[in-house]
Amino acid sequence: MIPETINGKKVIPFKGVGKYKPTGRKYAPKISTSADYPLDGNKLVDSLKDALIKSGIKDGMTISTHHHFRDGDLIAVQIFDIAHEMGIKDLVWFPSASFTCHQPLIKYLEDGTIHHIEGSMNGPLGKFTTQGKMKGVGILRSHGGRYQAVQDGEVEIDIAVIAAPTADPFGNSNGVNGPSACGLLGFALADSQYADKVIVVTDNLVPFPCIPWQIHGNYVDYVVKVDQVGIPEKIVSGTTKITKSPDRLLIAELTAKFCEEAELIYDGFSFQAGAGGTALSIGIYFGEIMRRKGIKARFARGGSNKYLVDLLEEGLVEYILDGQTFDLDGVRSMRDNPRHVNTSPFTSYNYHGKGNFEGILDVVILGATEVDVNFNANVVTHSDGYLLHGIGGWQNCLFGKNVILPIPLFRDRIPVIRDEVTTICGPGELIDIIVTERGIAINPLRKDLINKMKNSKLPIKTIQQLKDEAEKICGKPKAIEFEEKIVAAIKWVDGTVIDVVKKIKE
Amino acid sequence: MIPETINGKKVIPFKGVGKYKPTGRKYAPKISTSADYPLDGNKLVDSLKDALIKSGIKDGMTISTHHHFRDGDLIAVQIFDIAHEMGIKDLVWFPSASFTCHQPLIKYLEDGTIHHIEGSMNGPLGKFTTQGKMKGVGILRSHGGRYQAVQDGEVEIDIAVIAAPTADPFGNSNGVNGPSACGLLGFALADSQYADKVIVVTDNLVPFPCIPWQIHGNYVDYVVKVDQVGIPEKIVSGTTKITKSPDRLLIAELTAKFCEEAELIYDGFSFQAGAGGTALSIGIYFGEIMRRKGIKARFARGGSNKYLVDLLEEGLVEYILDGQTFDLDGVRSMRDNPRHVNTSPFTSYNYHGKGNFEGILDVVILGATEVDVNFNANVVTHSDGYLLHGIGGWQNCLFGKNVILPIPLFRDRIPVIRDEVTTICGPGELIDIIVTERGIAINPLRKDLINKMKNSKLPIKTIQQLKDEAEKICGKPKAIEFEEKIVAAIKWVDGTVIDVVKKIKE
């Protein structure tokens, strides 16, 4: 099912969790010399176009951007406007994620300016890809997988463009200050470390030193001052509202009760709850449990938002280790509170490091578009076959000690638990608990949890029972028809290919 | 004068400032996988010996340590005690600096446990080396040159041992907390990033996460808990006392007056004053000038100490960019004040980056053991020919905008200004001003400064005049006699060899 090559490059099919062992060496960037850089540290150039030309932009190059501005990014499209204007073709766009604001890039995918995207293809770009319209094959990676791919040299970035809310003329940059503050710049870390040329674009230029320097100017070639790098209102994710759906609230409550009964919430525990409406509610329940028990969490992983910041400020959480801020409370807290720590996919997620900290987390709450009866889960395609989401940190988080998917039993009358998922993104052996509004299924591999919960009054069921219940209500879902053409590949955290997405038959 | 090979490796002789351009790629460490590390992040092993054995210690390996504990280091000697006990031979010790506390290693240099040292050879180790007793040739590098050598693969570290005042079981570590707090761990950054195996040794183990994580556990293989990693009283440098010598105070005053008259002290300027007695006094004069003029410095480079921290806290300095803390006020300030920033040789000094920040500094105050009439300076050997000091950040700092050497005209009745220095560590073209108690010499290359100071009442003289005055008082110094054998090489910031030290004829 996994082809031998994708986009002309050999691929290694998924071997099993922890089974593929890399034997090579990390990617070795060219050695620079300060003799080639202005001695006074002033790397300012006139415009993004200037910087791209000085960086030697040409056909076939790989250009990277980060997504800390989320749907408020104003820079990525400009890069390809310039490339198009210069008549450059066959670029690879390597974003850490794409959003609806990147829809204007479809015309450059159509006219050959961009050959393909390696990165999430959310929304309209995903639809375009699933329809088989992209020249190359899209490559989806987790946040940790993206760091791994750059570190290992699977992706060689020719030019990294790092939009920064604040920077100095040397290129030191951060995301916590300035009118477009987005919190941090961790998704651009690998790009800064390994890209051949690095351009920092900012709308808030400060004299050296820009402190904190989340990105080090020592990696930066050029700095560009523009009027605006991001739209602040759109930087904040619209999904960070607590759910009002009674079903979702029930799922959140069941999840919290399960965690408490299974003794996953203890003094000094750690959790990652995410930013979806259900996940937010779970975080609030966790707060109530900690308050009642008089305990606190050693740390929580962000995506941070007001609710998590509240727990930090109340002292219920000792540290937030944050990968991206989802609202302005998150930004403020990261700026002002030394216990609100900015992280990067290197520290948190990279599987090809000497460990990463996901395995330390006690409770990890994740979403999924589909789960199968073997607990394999899908997070990129919908049950209609369209590729509509990126992997984000999802695959990386599966290494947590107790991975819980609180999901509705069906969406739009289509069951979420299936015989087979449309696209496998995560192997079932890493997923421990499925919580739905009609019952909780524990992975049979987790005999310890099954044993611990055997006298529970919570609605513990088998996953087959949950699937049957859903199908009783919605009927057996129809199979989706695909053509043979592969439109996207799903990488596992170790760089192997765990699944592919095929062109949909429309 | 520079041999073709040293310790069996080809060397490149110094080509001139900014003339040698590297063409290769950075050193590429092996790719690790989290599959080989404990999933729960617990990398604790029983003892340093255990960790060294698990790291595969064997004959001929290169073992690195850092010097943030200064003369209070308790770990480096233990490593070689263990190696000796295991019968291991021909190790290369690669410290970021050595101190008197490392004198016990002489026995291992004698018995072949250690083949040679790459790093500064202060005091007794320097004397031993100059006497031609070390098997291999000592290699001295600046702090930036050490980072460059590791990054570029000139030195491949097999095992890095990082003594850390605080660490968690995953290997995240810092220098600001714990009973042996030494401020920061920046000198160990390259070691953590590039060594094959990395061992963290701590006497203050905290639960994950150890925040701040100055060293990332993602680079660490093993963690060892010991009773004590450093002697706090000896971590603090004994040299951080303001001079009481009238001559030195005069030099300090002349330096400060020169900087003011030459308009080097302006609102938003930057300076690096160092920790010697004279330098401290200069910092105090700078504070007085800023207060009087109602201006402030944008940043100061540390080595930090009470006096620099006072300037920060008074608001006369906006940021301290600190490479090492010299006293407990420095440690406290770095821990508590976000404007007191820990740096590493990567950010501050590495010449093989995309610039570094030394060139941004307006005023750099440095010492020297000797200066010649062409402004070339020596910082490693004394006029008696003995290698008694490391280079430290000295060479890297020469790239500052105005490099000033405030030095006495003679020491122990031996003139400091010479026809030729015993060892060239820094080319004269980078040294701008020599300030002595009997006059100030401006480098003829700095026509701008000569012009600016032409009506000054300060005792501006030529360097030849200063030399003549010294010789009038002390007589012409006798030449030192050396044998042909090369005992140490002095690297320039780009990895080329700028000079060698020969065995002294005793």
Measured between CB atoms, does B315 come within 8 Å of chain A?
no
Q: Which amino acid is at B392?
A: G
Q: Tell which of A354, A356, A357 to mutate to test the B interface (max B CBs under 10 Å).
A: A354
Q: In the structure, how many helices (H) and strands (E) does chain B have?
A: 15, 28
Measured between CB atoms, does A327 come within 8 Å of chain B?
no
Interfacial B residues in 264-283 facing A (CB < 8 Å): 268
Contacts of A198 in chain B (CB under 8 A): 354
The CATH code that applies to domain B41-118+155-235 is: 3.40.1080.10
A116 neighbors A136 (Cβ within 8 angstroms): yes
Contact A26 B25 (CB under 8 A): no
Alpha carbon distance A360, A337 (integer Å): 23
Measured between CB atoms, does A337 come within 8 Å of chain B?
no
CATH class of B246-481: alpha beta
CATH class of A246-480: alpha beta
Measured between CB atoms, does A491 come within 8 Å of chain B?
no
* Domain pair B41-118+155-235 / B246-481, same fold: yes
Interfacial B residues in 38-67 facing A (CB < 8 Å): 38-41, 43
Contacts of B354 in chain A (CB under 8 A): 32, 34, 37, 171, 198, 217-221
* pLDDT score of B237 more than 80: no
Which residue in A70, A117, A67, A65 sits closest to A90, CA to CA?
A: A117
Alpha carbon distance B460, B488 (integer Å): 37
Alpha carbon distance A115, A96 (integer Å): 17
Contacts of A472 (CB under 8 A, 6+ apart): none
Q: Which amino acid is at B30?
A: K
Segment B390-418, tens digit of pLDDT: 999 999 999 999 999 999 999 989 999 99
Segment A383-440, tens digit of pLDDT: 899 999 999 999 999 999 999 999 999 998 999 999 999 999 999 999 999 999 999 9
| Min Cα–Cα distance to chain A from B349, Å | 10
Contacts of A37 in chain B (CB under 8 A): 354-355
Interfacial B residues in 283-302 facing A (CB < 8 Å): 298-299
Alpha helix positions (H), B272-305:
277-293
Alpha carbon distance B130, B132 (integer Å): 5
B479: exposed, middle or buried (C-beta count within 10 Å: 0-12, 13-18, 19+)? exposed
For chain B, what is the radius of gyration of the CA atoms? 22
pLDDT for the residue A390: 94
User: How many CB atoms lie under 10 A from the CB of residue A84?
Assistant: 18
Contacts of A208 in chain B (CB under 8 A): 298-299, 357, 360
A475: exposed, middle or buried (C-beta count within 10 Å: 0-12, 13-18, 19+)? exposed
A76 neighbors A102 (Cβ within 8 angstroms): yes
Contact B354 A208 (CB under 8 A): no
CB pairs under 8 A between A and B: 198
Q: Whats the size of chain A, residue-wise?
A: 506
DSSP assignment letter at B400: S
B2 three-class SS: coil
B307 three-class SS: helix
Measured between CB atoms, does B15 come within 8 Å of chain A?
no
Contacts of A398 in chain B (CB under 8 A): none
Measured between CB atoms, does A16 come within 8 Å of chain B?
no
| Min Cα–Cα distance to chain B from A304, Å | 17
The better pLDDT of the pair A352, B121 is held by: A352
What CA–CA distances, in Å, run from B322 to B326, B339, B360? 10, 10, 15
A358 neighbors A399 (Cβ within 8 angstroms): yes
**What separation, in Å, do the N-terminal and C-terminal C-alpha atoms of chain B show?**
22
Per-residue confidence band for B240, with pLDDT thresholds at 50, 70 and 90: low
A273 neighbors A393 (Cβ within 8 angstroms): no
* pLDDT score of B232 more than 90: no
Range A317-338 burial, b when 16+ CB lie within 10 A, else e: bbbbbbbbbbbbbbbbbbbeee
**What separation, in Å, do the N-terminal and C-terminal C-alpha atoms of chain A show?**
22
Contact A211 B319 (CB under 8 A): yes
A174 neighbors A218 (Cβ within 8 angstroms): no
Residue with tokens 């003339």: B19
Which residue in A160, A151, A146, A289 sits closest to A221, CA to CA?
A: A160
Measured between CB atoms, does B147 come within 8 Å of chain A?
no
DSSP symbols for B14-38:
---TTT----SB---PBPP-GGGS-
Contact B357 A170 (CB under 8 A): yes
Per-residue confidence band for B340, with pLDDT thresholds at 50, 70 and 90: very high
Alpha carbon distance A321, B403 (integer Å): 42
Alpha carbon distance A214, A341 (integer Å): 11
Contacts of A151 in chain B (CB under 8 A): 31
Contacts of A51 (CB under 8 A, 6+ apart): A45, A199, A201, A221, A222, A224
Alpha helix positions (H), B71-182:
76-85, 106-110, 123-130, 143-151
Q: CA of B398: which chain A residue's CA is closest?
A: A39
DSSP assignment letter at B451: H
Alpha carbon distance A381, A421 (integer Å): 9
Alpha carbon distance A396, A359 (integer Å): 9
B367 three-class SS: coil
| Min Cα–Cα distance to chain A from B328, Å | 21
pLDDT for the residue B239: 59
- The beta-carbon neighbor of B41 closest among A20, A208, A357 is A357
B397 three-class SS: helix
| Min Cα–Cα distance to chain B from A314, Å | 19
Per-residue confidence band for B242, with pLDDT thresholds at 50, 70 and 90: confident
A54, containing H or E segment:
helix A48-54
Contacts of A268 in chain B (CB under 8 A): 207
- The beta-carbon neighbor of A347 closest among B27, B218, B356 is B218
Contact A209 B357 (CB under 8 A): yes
* pLDDT score of B376 more than 80: yes
User: How many CB atoms lie under 10 A from the CB of residue B428?
Assistant: 19
Contact A219 B353 (CB under 8 A): yes
* pLDDT score of B241 more than 90: no
Q: Which amino acid is at B9?
A: K
Measured between CB atoms, does A321 come within 8 Å of chain B?
yes
Alpha carbon distance A47, A477 (integer Å): 53
Bridge partners (DSSP) listed for residue A73 = A230
- The dihedral formed by the CA atoms of B28, B29, B31 and B33, expressed in degrees to the nearest 10: -150
- The beta-carbon neighbor of B22 closest among A28, A33, A198 is A33
Q: What ranges do the domains of chain A cover?
A: 40-118+155-235, 246-480
DSSP symbols for A412-435:
TTEESEESS-SS--B-GGG--EEE
Contact A399 B39 (CB under 8 A): yes
Per-residue confidence band for B274, with pLDDT thresholds at 50, 70 and 90: confident
Strands A433-436 and A402-406: parallel
- The beta-carbon neighbor of B218 closest among A27, A355, A360 is A355
Contact B38 A355 (CB under 8 A): yes
Question: Sign (positive/negative) of CA torsion B192, B197, B203, B208?
Answer: positive
Question: Sign (positive/negative) of CA torsion A111, A113, A117, A120?
Answer: negative
B361 neighbors B370 (Cβ within 8 angstroms): no
Alpha carbon distance A325, B47 (integer Å): 40
Contacts of B26 in chain A (CB under 8 A): 28-31
Q: Tell which of B31, B159, B191, B364 to mutate to test the A interface (max A CBs under 10 Å).
A: B31
CATH 3.40.47.10 fits A40-118+155-235, yes or no: no
Alpha carbon distance B322, B90 (integer Å): 35
Which residue in B32, B145, B218, B21 sits closest to A30, CA to CA?
A: B21
Bridge partners (DSSP) listed for residue A501 = A488
Measured between CB atoms, does A15 come within 8 Å of chain B?
no
Contact B32 A353 (CB under 8 A): yes
Contact B321 A268 (CB under 8 A): no
Range A110-119 burial, b when 16+ CB lie within 10 A, else e: eeebbbbbbb
- The beta-carbon neighbor of A26 closest among B21, B29, B217 is B29
A123, containing H or E segment:
helix A123-130
The better pLDDT of the pair A358, B243 is held by: A358
Contacts of B356 in chain A (CB under 8 A): 34, 218
Q: What is the pTM of this model?
A: 0.97
Q: Which residues of chain A have pLDDT under 50?
A: none
Q: In the structure, how many helices (H) and strands (E) does chain A have?
A: 15, 28
Percent pLDDT > 70 in chain B is: 99
Contacts of A25 in chain B (CB under 8 A): 28-31
Encoded tokens for A87? 């008549």
